[in-house]
Amino acid sequence: MIEVAAAISGVIHRWEDFVIISLLLILNGVVGFWQEHKADNAIDLLKQKMALNARVLRDGQWTQKPARELVPGDVVRVRSGDVVPADLKLLEGEYLQVDESALTGESLPVEKKSDGIAYSGSVIQKGEMNALVVATGMNTYFGATTKLVAEIRTRSHFQKAVLNIGNYLIVLAGCIVAIVLVVEELFRHTPFLETLQFALVLIVAAIPAALPAVMSVSMAVGATKLAKKGAIVSKLVSIEEMAGMDILCSDKTGTITQNKLKLSELVPFGDFKENDLLIYGSLASREEDNDPIDNAILQKAKETESLEDKIKTYKVDKFTPFDPVIKHTEATVKGPEGEFKIAKGAPQVILGMSSNKEEIRQKVEEKVNSMASKGYRALGVCVEEERKYRFAGLFGLYDPPHEDSAETIKTANSLNVDVKMVTGDHLSIAKEIASQVGLGTNIVTADDFVEKSDSEAQEIVEKADGFAQVFPEHKYKIVELLQKKEHIVGMTGDGVNDVPALKMADAGIAVAGATDAAKSAADIVFTISGLSTIINAIKESRKIFQRMKSYAIYRIAETVRVLFFIATAIIVFNFYPVTAIMIVLLAILNDAPIMAIAYDNVRYSQVPEEWNMREVVRMSTFLGIIGVIVSFAIYYIGARILYLSPGVLQSFIFLKLAVAGHLTIFIARNRGHFWSPPPGKLLFWAAVVTKVLATLVAVYGFYISPIGWKLAGFIWIYALAAFVITDFMKVKLYEIMDRRE
């Protein structure tokens, strides 16, 4: 609309207005472009940090490399949970079950074997194979893998609310300007084009032109801060969801605990010995997979004297990696005794596979419960003898809690976020770990709520302090039930089977070491293990929400103040208090410092944030009306006491509107007094610089009537006095609103 106003200035031969408005338009465009460029750079940096990695064979060694560095001819290993990094020709391994739904829309997984092609961007659901890279990047069959990752600029509920505010202000401005046009055209017979030019720039003053830039810069700055603290935001809008999160469902392993398993106990059964268990456990493990359980067993075997040489007498012919559905790994081994199979996995699964299960069931369960009471995770091993599996024994693995887990959970509770632990481990283990980190004792299993009615299940899940013996599909159900109780839910996950729950959650969080599939589905990806990163994310997101709310209050208040004051002055007093050029100057000078709100110093809320529209409208309307009253008072002083000429009076009012407008943001930025906490340095100095510029324009009269330093000094004293009084009135109004609520 500024462009139209500039064009009309040319049509009616007001060349001075045309030149000034055009220059201001160019300046506004440059500032807007710079801010958007800055936000885009931050987003691009986050995308680079989210880039996929691949296990590639280079110089005879398996190493982790960014997927973008792969070239045709590379040999890579893919397994369950990986996003396929390039078009691959499958080489060694039994089979892969591949989800190609992100590429083809086909929901059923596809089975692929040697010589088959796995396409870039698909997700490995089951299996593990070596493969040859045949195409990369845009040369792949389906193009870049970015189709898998959700669009980073998706609008959230909060953004929609703020955009609705913008639409409301435009409609309000349109109605008031229409009244001004009718009065001027029908009753005062002012030339239509002159009135239209002024009306257009008046609408410009009311439109929140900085809205998109403030949003993108605020969230990009917040996301960059989070990335430095180990939380990479893959979807910027998720920051706002984190601000409102009141329940966090946290994985035990790797988040509450360290995910550094130690083999603490060996329990052989029958005539098996401890060394036998270590040999069989090592053969059913793969070092290159970097699995924490496998690493703990292999490390213990290396530390045991003379065992390494004995393990080398065996050769693994076939290996089936761990599958979260069947909950075990399997290896076909050739050794001095001939060919046999080894299975390693959940005790109840391994026991069920064993031919001697009935005679040892009670003893196994007692041992598992004994380990669980100490916080140990039990792992079973069985060995094939005469084509039947025989239970060989148990491993007791201990994953200690992070040193700061208990303190972090206490901090989360102080922020009114209820932490619920989620684990597939035995109930006794879950209760022991929960007691160590200060969670409650009400730990339930999946069986306690899965078969219940929705209303019963919702009550059970809401009151639970944690969940044990859950499968990935139960996580989805937990999130769904909590959301039905109107909670904003965060969920952590790391595996391909966690993807539905991560997508379902309001804030899906992929923990450190998560699979590519989990990272792609998550809103936030952790690079550091532990709960403390989540707390940082909650605090930062609430700060961002606070800044956005401050902007909304400021923007509505400014529109009410400027629009109602100017329109009322025209309609009632038949006086244009400012010129079209002044309005454009006000719009640009007021929007320039508001960009710095992304860097403002704010306190995070101690409760989850929510969009309280009633409070925002009440406060902004109050500030706007006070602004109108104060503006008419300065008009009265200038016209009736100082007897200023019309041109000088307009410059006098312009400076008051400019100085007071910048001060309004300091009032709107928090519920307390403007000094608690003090504004950020960038916001403060941006406001000071623009106020000084407005003062110089008014004092020396750049394309407006000069007012001199004496009148300018009076305006500053008047505006600052009104600012302090209004700030105290704001604090009182918040106290009244809080009491009523």
| pLDDT per position as a tens digit, 597-637 | 888 888 899 999 887 888 888 899 999 999 999 999 999 99
Query: Which pLDDT value is given to residue 14?
Result: 56
Tell me yes or no: is domain 1-40+155-225+542-739 CATH 1.20.1110.10: yes
Enumerate residues 6+ apart whose C-beta is below 8 A from 525: 50, 231, 232, 234, 509, 510, 514, 519
- Which whole number is the average pLDDT over 510-522? 80
- Which whole number is the average pLDDT over 436-454? 91
Q: How confident is the model at residue 269 (pLDDT cuts 50, 70, 90)?
A: very high
What CATH topology corresponds to 231-257+401-527? Rossmann fold (3.40.50)
- Least trusted range by pLDDT, from 161-170, 294-303, 324-333, 345-354: 161-170
Q: Is the pLDDT of residue 20 over 60?
A: no
Dist CA 78 CA 76 (whole Å): 7
Q: How confident is the model at residue 98 (pLDDT cuts 50, 70, 90)?
A: confident
Sheet holding 231-233, edge to edge: 231-233, 524-526, 507-510, 489-493, 247-251, 418-422, 466-468, 443-445
Give the number of other Cβ atoms within 10 Å of residue 642's Cβ. Answer: 13
202 or 708, which is more confident: 708
Dist CA 444 CA 448 (whole Å): 6
Query: Which pLDDT value is given to residue 22?
Result: 63
Q: Please identify which of the residues 17, 74, 99, 251 carries the catalytic annotation.
A: 251
- Mark residue 181 as left, alpha or beta (left: phi above 0; alpha: psi -120 to 50; beta: remaining): alpha
Query: Which pLDDT value is given to residue 659?
Result: 93
Query: Which pLDDT value is given to residue 644?
Result: 94
Query: Which pLDDT value is given to residue 704?
Result: 86
- Which whole number is the average pLDDT over 517-540? 84
| pLDDT per position as a tens digit, 40-51 | 554 555 455 556
Residue 666: CA atoms inside 13 Å, Cβ hemisphere, count? 30
Q: Is 251 noted as a catalytic residue in this protein?
A: yes
Tell me yes or no: is domain 262-398 CATH 3.40.50.300: no
Q: Is the pLDDT of residue 698 over 60?
A: yes
Query: Which pLDDT value is given to residue 154?
Result: 43
Dist CA 269 CA 236 (whole Å): 53
Query: Which pLDDT value is given to residue 144?
Result: 42
Q: How confident is the model at residue 255 (pLDDT cuts 50, 70, 90)?
A: confident
Q: At what angle do helices 646-668 and 580-594 cross, to 10 degrees?
A: 20
Q: Is the pLDDT of residue 499 over 90?
A: no
Query: Which pLDDT value is given to residue 620?
Result: 92
Dist CA 661 CA 583 (whole Å): 12
| pLDDT per position as a tens digit, 143-187 | 543 443 333 344 555 566 666 777 777 787 778 878 888 887 777
Closest Cα to residue 656, out of 603, 601, 714? 714
Domain ranges for the chain, please list them: 1-40+155-225+542-739, 53-147, 231-257+401-527, 262-398
Q: Which amino acid is at 447?
A: D
Total-model pTM? 0.74
Choose the CATH number for 53-147 among 1.25.40.10, 3.30.70.100, 2.70.150.10, 1.10.490.10.
Answer: 2.70.150.10
Dist CA 578 CA 652 (whole Å): 9
- Which whole number is the average pLDDT over 402-416? 92
197 or 136, which is more confident: 136
CA 671 from centroid of its chain's CA atoms: 25
> Which residues make beta-bridge pairs with 551?
none
